Structure formats: C-alpha cells, structure tokens
C-alpha cells in the first residue's frame, strides 16, 4: 500500500515537472525542471528494484548531459528581443510533424493493456551483477552495436569541431 502512495507521488511529480519543462518561460528553468523530472524517473526505477539503472540514470543524465545542456543555455543569452521569428512554412511543418508524432503515440497507446503492477520475483534483479550478466550474454550484440554508434557520434563531433589546417 505504501509503495502505491509513493508511486502516485512520483508519477505526479514526473508529469508535473515534465509539464513545467514545456511551460516555463525561461529556458534555464526548463532545464532545471527536466532535472527534477529525471530524478522522479530514477525514483520509478528504484521502485522497480533497478537501483543500478536508477543511479546510472542520475549520473549520466542529471550529472553529465543536463550539465552540458545548462552550460549551453547559459551561454546563449536568450532574451525576448533576440528571439528570431520563424517563417510561416517552418511553423506549418512543425505542426504537421508534431501532429504525426502524436498520431503514432496515440496508436501505440491504444494497444496498451493496462495491467496491475507485479513485484519482481527476485529482489536482486536490478543489481549490477545481474544487469551486467544479462548485458554481456543475452544482449551482447545490441550492447556492442550501441557502443559502435557512440564511437561514430564521437568521431563525428571531433570532425565537426576540428580546426581546418589547410585553408
């Protein structure tokens, strides 16, 4: 029962903070609300006995990615006056793509069967040993493919950031 109360509180926090991300006027506040949102999602992971995933989520997202995002937003010096007005065609394209995304999400939501929460059989299912075992046996190929993808992204970033020496 008490875990249900915690779940509802976390769920409310996730949804509210996600809404604040969208509706905040200052981009800095948006980033900060997104951090709060990530924390509440980490809380959900803990509720599902996935402590390792929860802490890695916090280290990677709240600790590294959001810091870089905050970093960028702080340097942008966003003011009302400097905000560029986008052409009407761009706005129209944004509406169409947003609508399409919503359609896909709605279609996906329709086939969801609501089921009661079932506690995992083993309490240590989310411990680092078990996650590691799964990653390096059953999910080895996807895991390695992800790292290849990351290397491609890193090389791309280096190429983009490198100084042109020849010209």
Partner 1 sequence: MSIVLFKAILVVLIFLISLGIAAYSTYGERKIAAFLQDRIGPDRAGPFGLLQPIADGVKMFLKEEIIPTVSDKLLFIAGPSMFMLTALMTSAVIPWGLPLEFGGTVYALQVADINIGILYIMGVVSLGVYGIMIGGWASNNKFALLGAIRASSQMISYELAMGMSVIAVLLMTNGSLSLNNIVQSQGEGKLYGFINISGMNWNIFYQPVAFIIFLVCSFAETNRTPFDLPESESELIGGFHTEYSSMKLGLYLFGEYINMFISSAVISCLFLGGYNFPGIEYLGTVLPHNIVSLISVAALFGKIFFFIFFFMWVRWTIPRFRYDQLMRLGWQILMPLAIINVLITGGILTFFGN
The 3-class SS string of 90-150 reads: HHHHHHHHHHHHHHHHHHHHHCCCCCCCCCCCCCCCCCHHHHHHHHHHCCHHHHHHHHHHH
If binding means CB under 8 A, how many residues of this protein chain bind partner 1? 23
List % helix, strand, coil for the chain (3-state, nearest 5): 75, 0, 25
Quote the least distance from Cβ 30 to partner 1, whole Å. 13
Distance of CA 37 to the CA centre of its chain: 9
Left, alpha or beta for 49 (phi > 0: left; psi -120 to 50: alpha)?
Answer: left
Nearer to partner 1, 7 or 52 (CB): 52
Residues 66/34, Cβ–Cβ less than 8 Å: yes
Q: At what angle do helices 128-137 and 140-161 cross, to 10 degrees?
A: 90
Which of 3, 79, 82, 129 forms a contact with partner 1 (CB under 8 A)?
129
37 interacts with partner 1 by CB under 8 A: no
Nearer to partner 1, 68 or 108 (CB): 68
Nearer to partner 1, 26 or 97 (CB): 26
Quote the least distance from Cβ 31 to partner 1, whole Å. 10
Interaction pattern, residues 45-64, with partner 1; x per rule: CB under 8 A:
------xx--xx-xx--xxx
41 interacts with partner 1 by CB under 8 A: no
35 interacts with partner 1 by CB under 8 A: yes
20 interacts with partner 1 by CB under 8 A: no
Which residues would be at the binding site for partner 1 (CB under 8 A)? 26, 28, 32, 35, 51-52, 55-56, 58-59, 62-64, 67-68, 70-71, 74-75, 127-129, 132
């Amino acid at each position: 029962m008490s875990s249900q109360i915690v779940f509802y509180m976390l769920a409310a926090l996730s949804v509210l903070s996600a809404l604040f991300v969208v509706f905040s006027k200052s981009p800095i506040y948006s980033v900060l609300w997104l951090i709060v949102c990530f924390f509440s999602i980490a809380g959900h992971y803990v509720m599902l006995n996935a402590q390792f995933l929860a802490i890695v989520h916090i280290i990677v997202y709240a600790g590294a990615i959001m810091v870089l995002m905050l970093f960028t937003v702080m340097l942008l010096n966003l003011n009302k006056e400097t905000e560029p007005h986008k052409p009407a065609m761009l706005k129209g394209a944004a509406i169409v793509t947003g609508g399409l995304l919503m359609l896909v999400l709605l279609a996906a939501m329709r086939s969801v069967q609501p089921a009661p929460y079932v506690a995992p059989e083993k309490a240590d299912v989310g411990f680092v040993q078990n996650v590691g075992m799964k990653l390096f046996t059953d999910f080895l190929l996807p895991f390695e493919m992800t790292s290849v993808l990351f290397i491609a992204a890193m090389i791309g970033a280096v190429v983009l950031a490198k100084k042109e020496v020849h010209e």
